[in-house]
């Protein structure tokens, strides 16, 4: 696929997974370069119809049990069903691209028609996702994105509002409120948060403002796949294990369309 461009910004989306494999804004490399064989180890993958883990790759919805593909060597399914699928390009111009995929899977109750649009400006990226239930069964849904943001030397995360730090199991969720400035992010951090308003990722040479729409949750991950120069800050509409414990889980009605998204504004500091 060709690049989309806007002044000092450019991005490249692949048809596989509608995956954003690279992103430059204000002349800065924003995303860790994508890894084609492992789409959640770099770049930015789309996660749906579940944004994170489903315990034992099994869930029950309205009296029926469904089975999902397990992650290799694990007792869970993770990151949805679309990241390795080939999406169709529905619209392409100099600064934006829209891609479509129709999801039908034996492990999911209905059929979803999904559209994602990436739009560049000179100092930012806007991501819009529309999901329509084109079947006749009410179905569970969480969606997410998995961007790895590059930082220089060190990073910190600021939040417009307090966050709730979630402790999640397949059976239950507990949470506590915390000022974002008081949270410490050690290596191999992998934690779910709720709220926070606008998120601001700051490092030596850049400031990224992340504004979310209908994506109240986010995951922060700086483990093995992030390396020493990136951190994943993942906007989500629902948390891990939502398909098991029901916390943060949405339902999409027959013929209903739900919209999600976020935008990133980049300020170059040096």
Q: pLDDT of 147-167, one tens digit each?
A: 999 999 999 999 999 999 999
Is residue 172 pLDDT above 90, yes or no?
Answer: yes
Q: Is residue 117 classed as helix, strand or coil in its secondary structure?
A: strand
Helices (H), the chain: 242-245
Beta strands in 62-172, from DSSP E residues, in sequence order: 64-67, 76-78, 88-92, 96-104, 111-121, 124-133, 139-141, 144-150, 155-159, 163-168
* Angle 42-48-50 from CA coordinates, rounded to 5°: 105
Q: Check whether 125 has a pLDDT greater than 80.
A: yes
Query: What does the alpha-carbon distance between residue 230 and residue 221 come to, in Å, rounded to a whole number?
Result: 9
14-60, pLDDT tens digit by residue? 999 999 999 999 999 999 998 777 888 999 999 999 999 999 999 99
In whole angstroms, what is the distance from residue 64 CA to residue 12 CA? Answer: 40
The whole-angstrom separation of Cα 243 and Cα 249 is 7
Q: CB count, 10 Å around CB of 183?
A: 16
Buried b / exposed e over 41-51, threshold 16 CB at 10 Å, is: bbbbbbbbbbb
Partnered with residue 158 across adjacent β-strands are 200
pLDDT digits (tens, 9 = 90+) for 98-116: 999 999 999 999 999 999 9
pLDDT given at position 35: 79
Which domains are present in the chain?
A: 4-268 (2.70.98.10)
pTM of this structure: 0.96
Q: In angstroms, rounded to a whole number, what is the distance separating the alpha carbons of residues 113 and 103?
A: 6
């Amino acid at each position: 696929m060709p690049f989309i461009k806007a002044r000092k910004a450019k991005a490249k989306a692949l048809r596989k997974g509608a995956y954003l494999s690279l992103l430059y804004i204000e002349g800065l490399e924003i995303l860790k370069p994508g890894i084609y064989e492992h789409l959640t180890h770099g770049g930015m993958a789309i996660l749906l119809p579940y944004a994170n883990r489903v315990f034992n790759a099994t869930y029950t919805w309205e009296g029926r049990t469904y089975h999902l593909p397990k992650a290799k060597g694990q007792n869970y399914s993770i990151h949805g069903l679309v990241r390795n699928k080939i999406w169709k390009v529905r619209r392409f111009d100099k600064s934006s691209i829209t891609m479509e995929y129709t999801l039908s899977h034996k492990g999911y109750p209905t059929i979803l028609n999904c559209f994602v649009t990436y739009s560049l400006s000179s100092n930012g990226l806007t991501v819009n996702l529309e999901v329509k239930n084109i079947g006749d069964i009410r179905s569970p849904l969480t969606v997410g994105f998995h961007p790895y943001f590059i930082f220089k030397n060190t990073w910190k995360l600021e939040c417009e509002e307090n966050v709730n730090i979630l402790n999640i199991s397949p059976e239950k969720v507990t949470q506590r409120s915390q000022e974002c400035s008081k949270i410490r992010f050690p290596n191999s951090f992998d934690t779910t948060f709720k709220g926070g308003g606008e998120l601001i990722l700051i490092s030596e040479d850049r400031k990224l403002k992340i504004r979310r729409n209908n994506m109240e949750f986010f995951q922060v991950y700086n483990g093995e796949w992030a390396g020493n120069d990136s951190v994943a800050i993942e906007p989500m509409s629902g948390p891990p294990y939502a398909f098991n414990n029901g916390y943060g889980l949405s339902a999409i009605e027959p013929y209903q369309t739900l919209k999600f998204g976020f935008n990133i504004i980049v300020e170059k500091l040096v």
